[in-house]
A and B are shown apart, each in its own frame.
Chain A
Amino acid sequence: MGRTLSEKVWDDHVVRANAGEPDLLFVDLHLIHEVTSPQAFDGLRLAGRQVRRPDLTLATEDHNVPTLDWDKPIADPVSRTQVETLRKNAEEFGVRLHPLGDLDQGIVHVVGPQLGLTQPGMTIVCGDSHTSTHGAFGAIAFGIGTSEVEHVLATQTLPQAKPKTMAVTVNGSLPDGVTAKDLVLNLIAHTGTGGGQGYIVEYRGAAIEELSMEGRMTICNMSIEWGAKAGLIAPDQTTFDYIEGRPEAPKGADWDAAVAYWSSLRTDDDAEFDREIVLDASEMTPFVTWGTNPGQGVPLGASVPSPQDFEEESDKVACEKALAYMGLEAGTPMREVAVDTVFVGSCTNGRIEDLRLAAEVIRGRQVAESTRLLVVPGSVRVRLQAEEEGLDVIFKEAGAEWRGAGCSMCLGMNPDTLSPGERSASTSNRNFEGRQGKGGRTHLVSIPVAAATAVRGTLSSPADLD
């Protein structure tokens, strides 16, 4: 029987397999940031261990860095200590670091692909659950905890039980104005937040093949939001074109050898998945969340649901709790929900294509009086590219705030947070209680919806602006 894409990549990384034990997998690339690594380096020191492969390790600063005054010392002393600890550890253990102020600083999942370090057929891990982003290139990429970060630093491997395989086949084409973000929010509402648990998911079908690399990254990024171990997409010409010429892409004969290998990374026709989900993209519309997990979403044209709409008792209770937290009345049209802050950014939607799309909607318009729009590029290179294209001017003229690169309001660890009761439309990936600040209320949206919402002040799509 044939093998699926993820089985092929998995098999190529098994260092050691023994019945009754998890496989020992080799890690091709280990990405590191300031928040989940200090205790791992401490562990190494305590045991007198070294980083086995500094040449397969890359660090950047993103979660805890300011997006204002980023060229000055970090004001919060606790944040500063954490960032400085990463710098000391990188220096002591010989790890390449792109610190604040460096051209290649930015969100770790934006930086890897941008440098060309993320390539098909790799295993990539990072102490961050959205590592699944890199699966867009046909890599097995997943988030790990700090103990595992230490394990990879010391051994360049991880013991891993082999997950089951799932295919999500998305037929048809996305209608105009409907994006990869809408697609994945749709999918999660369909499966629930635990629907992918225990699986590596391969996204396939015409709608996936038609996506740009940015769109594919948005989809794979949110694999973790429905519980999947990882999500990946078979590499194709779109993938190769994206990688070619990037600083760390293979060159010359290596490029040819790499492309030959990458081209073999497809699910065989006679391979079988443990589970399959089929969706039709042509029926999809802009999708937004109303609740406190990414599975609690509806089409933008729908209304806030009522607990009575759910069959299961636990779903009724969850709906009731979410409505209370979100300060929403059942039956309110989503389009009437007024938003205080719009956040454009994160590893889900903070790449150059996202900023271009947002600017296109914003151009010549003004941010609503009662609303603030925060635009945070995913990396310094994204910021510079956007400035070269004049996107920053479009945003600033509309009344938006143009910031430095980082995770920012995606997780509210730096000063970019919501106040209690403040409502956001956010292009990030999590609408958990308090995710963007204690008491903050988050609606997950696509880039066009975020931009249109900033202009109208209530949840909207660009079609509502005409």
Chain B
Amino acid sequence: MDKFTTHTGVGVPLRRSNVDTDQIIPAVYLKRVTRTGFEDGLFAAWRDDPDFILNNPVYAPGSVLVAGPDFGTGSSREHAVWALQNYGFKAVISPRFGDIFRGNCGKAGLVAAQVDEKVVQRLWTVLEDQPGASVTVDLESRSVRAGEGENAVEDSFDIDDYTRWRLLEGLDDIGVTLGHESDIAAYEGRRPSFKPVTQHA
């Protein structure tokens, strides 16, 4: 996984709450066996709508998505994270994320920055008043910044310490766990024998 310290890019105001992972990418797009190419399914139901925000050329090169509360609820499909990444997003900002989605972001290297709902409102205002404006997501200082002058937004965001550390270091989670192999083996040694197995010797 690549290290992430800070990113500045075009902000996309997505004025919707409860964007579940079926809306981020519908099931019919989940048939591929790769981690790439899912950008075609991103927000598929909305992409035919000329008024949809990503169909506006100013927002099309966006890399920071600013969404309403409960973004990424529902299905566990990590394809939702890949679709956002494949499209070019590096970070998503929302007042509240679906649990599994947020976990998937942390594993796949997409920053899920949780902010106060008021901050999202202010970011939306900046990004709509100045289409194409940039948003900075700084993982080191856990802060988001956008706009200039009176409307400028600068605020902190929440992300758990462990995920932040792994993203900053670009660490492979499995590698970290395998460093504790002896603990795993010790646990296996004391597991009760009545626990079920799927294969019998």
Contact = CB atoms under 8 A, between A and B. Distances in A.
B70 A194 contact: yes
A15 interface: yes
A122 interface: yes
B45 A227 contact: no
Nearest to A47: B174
Contact of A157 (B34, B78, B104, B177): B177
A254 B194 contact: yes
A49 interface: yes
A261 B193 CA distance: 12
Nearest to B187: A15
Interface in A367-406: none
A165 interface: no
Contacts of A147: 78, 104, 107-108, 173
Contacts of A119: 195-196
A286 interface: no
Contacts of A21: 162
Q: Which of A22, A47, A56, A79 counts the most B-chain CB atoms under 10 A from its CB?
A: A56
Q: Which of A116, A155, A255 counts the most B-chain CB atoms under 10 A from its CB?
A: A155
B162 A15 contact: no
B192 interface: yes
Interface string A61-101: 00110000000000010110110010000000000100000
A26 B194 contact: no
Given A47-B174, A193-B18, A198-B99, A145 B33 contact: no
Nearest to A262: B194
B96 interface: yes
Interface stretch (B3-11, B130-138, B139-147, B178-186): B178-186
A150 interface: yes
Nearest to A252: B194
Contact of A148 (B18, B35, B45, B103): B103
A129 interface: yes
Contacts of B76: 36, 127-129, 143-145
A338 interface: no
A413 B30 contact: yes
B31 to A, nearest CB: 4
B61 interface: no
Interface string A246-266: 001110001101100100000
Nearest to A13: B187
Interface in A222-236: 224, 227, 229
Contacts of A114: none
Nearest to A243: B196
Nearest to A96: B198
Give chain A's interface residue range (CB within 8 Å of chain B).
35 or more
B196 A248 contact: yes
B69 interface: yes
Contacts of A157: 177, 184
B20 A293 contact: yes
A143 B74 CA distance: 10
A95 B13 CA distance: 44
Contacts of B34: 38-39, 42
B118 interface: no
Contacts of A52: 184
A47 to B, nearest CB: 7
A187 to B, nearest CB: 16
A22 B162 contact: yes
Contact of B33 (A29, A39, A317, A434): A39
Give chain B's interface residue range (CB within 8 Å of chain A).
35 or more
A355 interface: no
Contacts, number: 203
Contacts of A24: 177, 180, 183-184
Nearest to A77: B31
A28 B28 CA distance: 31
A45 interface: no
B99 A412 contact: no
Q: Which of B28, B32, B96 counts the most A-chain CB atoms under 10 A from its CB?
A: B28
A151 B177 contact: yes
Interface in B21-45: 22-23, 26-28, 30-35, 44-45
A55 B199 CA distance: 5
B7 to A, nearest CB: 20
B77 interface: yes
Contact of A150 (B73, B174, B191, B193): B174
Nearest to A292: B18
Interface in B158-186: 160-162, 173-174, 176-178, 180, 183-184
A15 B178 CA distance: 12
B160 to A, nearest CB: 7
A16 B100 contact: no
Given A194-B73, A257-B194, A432-B74, A161 B160 contact: yes
Contact of A15 (B35, B69, B180): B180
A439 B197 CA distance: 43
A292 B187 CA distance: 44
A194 B96 contact: yes
Contacts of B68: 314
A284 interface: no
Given A147-B78, A257-B194, A434 B99 contact: no
Interface string A196-234: 011000000000000000000000000010010100000
10 contacts: A38-B33, A54-B198, A96-B198, A128-B76, A146-B78, A146-B79, A227-B99, A248-B197, A261-B192, A413-B31
The 7 closest A-B pairs by CB, nearest first: A147-B107, A145-B104, A38-B33, A145-B78, A143-B76, A254-B194, A413-B27
Interface of B: 17-18, 20, 22-23, 26-28, 30-35, 44-45, 68-70, 73-79, 81, 96, 98-100, 103-104, 107-108, 160-162, 173-174, 176-178, 180, 183-184, 187-188, 191-199
